[in-house]
């Protein structure tokens, strides 16, 4: 069994146990916290957790989306602040090869031309937001503006995903990048 397969199994088992507590008061803030941590660990399937939660508890879809968007924005703020303090070498130490990824190259080129508009576009898509946050921080984008842009983009994205998850889950199989995230958390849509 490969390292990724082990990790996927751990995530599925953990989320399976977590699903049992979906109606607890602490559940919604917890998925927001996981979303914040994803900015540093890049292994937490936020989309899958959000959609699965919305399917299991459809009346809470809005609150799930809001919590995950807030967590994502606060995590991005923390990452950007860390990059400002430590610089690119620190990032490459923690994310080896990040500056060689397709997302990094695309983001770098577009960020030079369009600034925070690129961060917004990435925030509303399934693309990794970390390269955009790191580049914005290295370009000395104001932290507050960066955080607001990410929150707005992620809130739009997560509102749509949570709504679809709570109202028409079969559409999720057709959404780009979502099916694999649902599989990672052990949720199957039929």
User: Which region holds residue 59: left if phi is over 0, alpha if psi is between -120 and 50, else beta?
Assistant: alpha
Question: pLDDT tens digits for 42-88?
Answer: 777 888 889 888 888 899 999 999 999 999 999 999 999 999 998 88
pLDDT digits (tens, 9 = 90+) for 94-107: 778 877 877 777 77
Of 75, 89, 85, the residue nearest 39 (C-alpha): 75
Q: Locate the domains of the chain by residue range.
A: 3-184
Q: Return the closest-CA partner of residue 44 out of 129, 168, 132.
A: 129
- Answer whether residue 175 shows pLDDT above 80: no
Whether residue 143 is predicted with pLDDT greater than 90 in this model: the reply is: yes
Confidence of residue 4 (pLDDT cuts 50, 70, 90): low
In this structure, which long-range contacts are made by residues 121-125, counting pairs with CB atoms below 8 Å and at least 24 apart in sequence? 121/153, 122/153, 123/149, 123/150, 123/152, 123/153, 123/154, 123/157, 124/153, 124/154, 124/156, 124/157, 125/157
Cα–Cα distance for residue pair 140/142, rounded to 1 Å: 6
What is the C-alpha to C-alpha distance for residues 113 and 161, in angstroms, rounded to an integer? Answer: 30
Instruction: Give the Cα separation of 20 and 129 in Å (integer).
Output: 30
Token representation of residue 157: 């994205």
- pLDDT of 138 reads 83
pLDDT above 70: residue 2: yes
pLDDT at 31 over 60: yes
């Amino acid at each position: 069994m490969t390292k990724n397969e082990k990790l996927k199994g751990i995530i599925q088992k953990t989320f399976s146990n977590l699903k049992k507590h979906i109606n607890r008061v602490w559940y919604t803030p917890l998925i927001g916290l996981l979303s914040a941590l994803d900015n540093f660990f890049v292994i937490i399937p936020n989309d899958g957790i959000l959609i699965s939660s919305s399917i299991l508890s459809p009346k809470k879809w809005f609150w799930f989306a809001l919590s995950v968007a807030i967590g994502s924005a606060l995590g991005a703020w923390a990452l950007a602040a860390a990059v400002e303090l430590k610089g690119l070498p620190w990032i490459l130490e923690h994310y080896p090869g990040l500056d060689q990824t397709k997302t990094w190259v695309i983001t770098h080129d577009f960020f030079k031309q369009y600034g925070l508009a690129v961060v917004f576009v990435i925030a509303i898509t399934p693309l990794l937001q970390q390269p955009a946050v790191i580049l914005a921080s290295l370009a000395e984008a104001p932290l507050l503006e960066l955080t607001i842009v990410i929150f707005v983009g992620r809130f739009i994205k997560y509102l749509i995903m949570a709504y679809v998850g709570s109202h028409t889950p079969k559409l999720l199989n057709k959404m780009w990048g979502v099916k694999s995230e649902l599989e990672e958390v052990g949720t199957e849509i039929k």
